Amino acid sequence: MNSARSRARRCIVQALYQWQLTGRDAGALDAQFFIDEGEGEIERAFFDGVLAEALAHADVLDGLIAPLLDRPLQEVDPVELAILRLGACELRYHPEVPFRVVINEAVELAKLFGAHHGHKYVNGILDRLAARLRAEEVPAAGGGGSAPK
């Protein structure tokens, strides 16, 4: 996770996690992450755009995720939920990003921040969501997500 976009995704997950816990608005989250983040360059436009989309469309994203879960949305680990929301946002609103990239980045984030086997859960949910949202792209690529299960 060394690219500027990957670092932006990491910050988006952290911002979504904070939003889930505190309800802070996007402006406060944005300011905090660019004061605190000093580990290299971040693709700022991507961070701003995807964070704003994820916050503005949280209900839509939750509606996409919830039917694929094995438990109520409220019982999903908050870190994994933030990662799922980011992945769902990219799958839904960013068709220019290949679904395999979305899933792989989400799995890497889950390995970094999530519970011991959380990456497997994230992979399974986003793989099924990609099949629904990117029905033409998924079969053309030869099946589901790229990350190992």
d(CA 36, CA 27): 14
Q: At what angle do helices 99-113 and 78-93 cross, to 10 degrees?
A: 170
pLDDT in tens, 15-58: 999 888 887 666 666 656 655 555 567 888 898 899 999 999 99
pLDDT above 70 as % of the chain: 81
Residue 11 neighbours by CB under 8 Å, 6+ apart? 33, 37, 42, 47
Cβ-contact 53, 93 below 8 angstroms: yes
Q: Which CATH class is domain 4-140?
A: mainly alpha
- Residue 5 pLDDT class (50, 70, 90 cuts): very high
pLDDT of residue 23: 74
Tokens of 99: 């679904």
Residue 99 clears pLDDT 90, i.e. is over it: yes
d(CA 106, CA 108): 5
d(CA 11, CA 4): 11
